[in-house]
Amino acid sequence: MVLELKNIEKSFGEKQVLKGVSLCAQGGQAFGLLGRNGAGKTTSIRILMNVFPANGGEVLLDGKPIDYKKVKFGYLPEERGLYPKKKIIDQLVYFAELNGVKRSDAVKSVDRWLARLGMTEYRNKRLDTLSKGNQQKIQLITALAHDPQIVILDEPFSGLDPVNAMLLKDVVKEEIEKGKIVLFSSHQMNYIEEFCDSIAILNGGEVVLSGDLYEIKRNYPRDRLVIRSEQTAEIAESFGENCAVTENGELIVTLDSPDDKQTVMKGLVESYDIDEVKVFEPSLNDIFVEYAGHQE
């Protein structure tokens, strides 16, 4: 599957929120949709899910206008939308039925997911008796129990402890391996970096950067080295103004030319006790700040 948003425009009154947004997500991969609050992420997601129409542009699946009667979406919203006073099994089955699943099949699917997420013991409890993290897992089941082809996860790791975050990681990887399109929207860059093959950064209703994350990083100038050593003071002194010390004690050395990196690395290993030396690549957080740091 290939999902595309092509030249999407959206205005609310006099305010134009989306200004020709285009992006492309592949089946069997995770796609990261990034941007600061107000950049247009939520509006893009709502248009993608046909919550409301765009003023211009189109949503395509495999090159054709998407048929919302045939394509199932699973959506985990940032703001939780379940019923706190209702029994968990009843509302999970209800949401699966809303997405076209027969009741008997919905019960089986929900019970499978409750077991998969370690939540079977809460099956007949009210939602408001659960912790925030467990409520998040219940919300996730509403997004997955009807076996959607396209899964949209908005801040999925919010409120999860490390153990439950690891469980959710495994579930997401399983969905990707099934060939589904998984779209992430999050401010937790470490998760986006771990899961997503491609990203798009929105700023002021426009895509300011998009593409394969690995290639985006490779396109940055490769003229800096990261060095870990017990001899940081000696190394820093030898490079003078071309060397900076990071908060975690690593050294960043700026080279005169990217072509010098092999020679400099060889010299470092021969002259000092080096634990690690590698070419510096910006983190996704660095890239995000560069492209979204100034809201347009």
Write phi, then psi, for 88 (nearest 5 degrees): -60, -50
Write phi, then psi, for 37 (nearest 5 degrees): -60, 130
Cα dihedral 184, 152, 59, 192 in deg (nearest 10):
10
The SS3 of residue 91 is helix
Share of the chain above pLDDT 70, in %: 99
> In the chain, which residue ranges form alpha helices assigned H by DSSP?
41-48, 88-98, 103-116, 132-144, 162-177, 189-195, 213-218, 232-239, 261-271, 284-292
Task: Kindly tell me if the per-residue pLDDT of 113 is higher than 60.
Answer: yes
Whether residue 207 contacts residue 198, with contact meaning beta carbons closer than 8 Å, is answered with: no
Helices (H) and strands (E) in the chain, counts: 10, 14
- Quick: pLDDT tens for 236-263: 999 999 999 888 889 999 998 999 999 9
pTM of the full predicted structure? 0.86
Task: Kindly tell me if the per-residue pLDDT of 61 is higher than 90.
Answer: yes
Task: Kindly tell me if the per-residue pLDDT of 296 is higher than 60.
Answer: no
**Mean pLDDT within 158-180:** 90
211 forms beta bridges with 199
141: confidence class by pLDDT, cuts 50, 70, 90 = very high
Whether residue 152 contacts residue 185, with contact meaning beta carbons closer than 8 Å, is answered with: yes
The lowest-confidence range among 142-146, 156-160, 176-180 is 156-160
Share of the chain above pLDDT 90, in %: 77
**Mean pLDDT within 2-12:** 96
Write phi, then psi, for 266 (nearest 5 degrees): -60, -45
295: confidence class by pLDDT, cuts 50, 70, 90 = low
- Quick: pLDDT tens for 29-40: 999 999 998 899
- Residue of higher predicted confidence among 38 and 200: 200
271: confidence class by pLDDT, cuts 50, 70, 90 = very high
Task: Kindly tell me if the per-residue pLDDT of 212 is higher than 70.
Answer: yes
